Amino acid sequence: MIILVLNSGSSSLKYQLHNQETDQLLATGLVERIAIGGSIFSHKTQNHTEKGEHPFDDHAQAIDYVLKLLTHKDFGVLTSLDEINAVGHRIVHGGETYVGSVLIDEEVIANLEKISYLAPLHNPANIIGINAIRTLLPALPNVAVFDTAFHQTLPEHAYMYALPLSYYRDYGVRRYGFHGTSHLYVAKRAAKLMGKPVGGSNIITMHIGNGASACAIRNGVSVDTSMGLSPLEGLVMGTRSGDVDATVVQLLSQQLGKNSDEVLNILNKESGVLGISEQYSDRRDIEGNLDDPRCALAFDMETYRIKKYVGSYMAVLGRVDAIVFTAGVGENSGPLREKALAGLEGLGIALDTKKNMDTLGKHGETLVSAPESKVKVYVIPTNEELVIIEDTVSVVRGTYKNHMDSDYSFE
């Protein structure tokens, strides 16, 4: 099957075209600054790169343009759009309605609209992407793969906030968690590397990219995760604060004369290591400038927060077989992993210092713990696209099972 994977952001569109049978990436690309002026695109195939500026007033125009690139007479990878068999959409928020991936129909779109208030920055853009494809290629099946679905196994005591209960009942105020496809994928890979069934493995997964989240996985299912109602909560991230006392919002709102939306924008876009270093959200820059006390503080804060989550999830799980680091920072930064796990020998965690520092640019699955470490520590490159492709194919074929089905195969 030829699958188009779409990730529509508020002003961006990321895409990949895959031949799932041959496991071949046919094309990949990114359109930025949609509907805000100065739109740019970059499109890559195995032997051609096409880049440039092009005005896109909306996502439909951008998708239309991408489809033309895919079938271009000189560098197209398809002779006709009929060769595409299905589209897999990365959807940020599935609320409590979706515990796995689904075929998109009118009812799904109506449900996504209903829960858009839970992810006002993301879900409306996802819906625009779905509608654009449905208009341009009406015969094509569309599948929704949710960032939240993997975390729908959280027990009540882990997902509830200690607020008046009616806010959960009336408005769905609770922890949802994100990066679900990534946590699921690396947990499955780690179990495979350990030679254990993931259904019998306890794993802590740390997805540390620009956004970052931790997940406690018991017997293959998510039992706690650090992101909450939105992706703001939890770890210190590139530009997000992670955990803060909610009173910060009130105090800053008073002092700065800003409303809560504006203050939350500061917490989401101007905080994290960017806020502390006052210059960089890219962790390569942070780690390259540790002689600047602000960068050193940002690094210390980020690694300390990771350590706290590792410790608390060890308490949650009781027995931990493995800790997995993934995503841009998790996969590449030996110094971050070393500092975050330093001093945890008493909890059975010991890194092989040399192996841990040797993963930069290697992009492979690597065991970085020492032989005597009771808890194995892995670096595993995430592959959210693969999950989206596999789910899209199985949903379209009618063979899809989600991780909560009793006969779900973890392989």
How many whole angstroms separate alpha carbon 18 and alpha carbon 386? 9
Instruction: Write the binding mask 332 to 361 for ligand ADP: x where contact by CB under 6 A, - elsewhere.
Output: xx--------------------------x-
How many whole angstroms separate alpha carbon 141 and alpha carbon 88? 9
* Residue with the two structure tokens 């254990």: 196
Give the DSSP H/E element, type plus range, for residue 145.
strand 142-146
Widest distance between CA atoms in the chain: 62
Instruction: Write the binding mask 166 to 205 for ligand ADP: x where contact by CB under 6 A, - elsewhere.
Output: ----------------------------------------
Answer yes or no whether residue 284 interacts with ligand ADP by CB under 6 A.
Answer: yes
8 A C-beta contact, residue 234 and residue 228: yes
Q: Indicate which single residue of 66, 102, 327, 377 sits in contact with ligand ADP (rule: CB under 6 A).
A: 327
Output the six-digit token pair for 401.
Answer: 């099972």
Annotated active-site residue in 105, 147, 245, 292: 147
Angular region, 30: left φ>0, alpha ψ -120 to 50, beta rest: beta
Nearer to ligand ADP, 250 or 353 (CB): 353
Stretch that binds ligand ADP, among 40-48, 68-76, 109-117, 206-214 (CB under 6 A): 206-214
Least distance to ligand ADP from the beta carbon of 389, Å? 18
Answer yes or no whether residue 362 interacts with ligand ADP by CB under 6 A.
Answer: no
Report the SS3 class of residue 28: strand
CB closest to ligand ADP, residue no? 328
Answer yes or no whether residue 282 interacts with ligand ADP by CB under 6 A.
Answer: yes
Look up 23 and say whether it is catalytic: no
Answer yes or no whether residue 238 interacts with ligand ADP by CB under 6 A.
Answer: yes
Output the six-digit token pair for 194.
Answer: 């350990």
Answer yes or no whether residue 329 interacts with ligand ADP by CB under 6 A.
Answer: yes
Nearer to ligand ADP, 177 or 209 (CB): 209
Output the six-digit token pair for 314.
Answer: 């060890």
8 A C-beta contact, residue 68 and residue 56: no
Give just the sign of the alpha carbon dihedral 337, 342, 345, 346.
negative
Q: Indicate which single residue of 89, 218, 283, 403 sits in contact with ligand ADP (rule: CB under 6 A).
A: 283
Output the six-digit token pair for 250.
Answer: 């009130």
The catalytic site residues sit at 147
**Interacting residue ranges for ligand ADP, rule: CB under 6 A:** 209-211, 238, 282-284, 287, 327-329, 332-333, 360
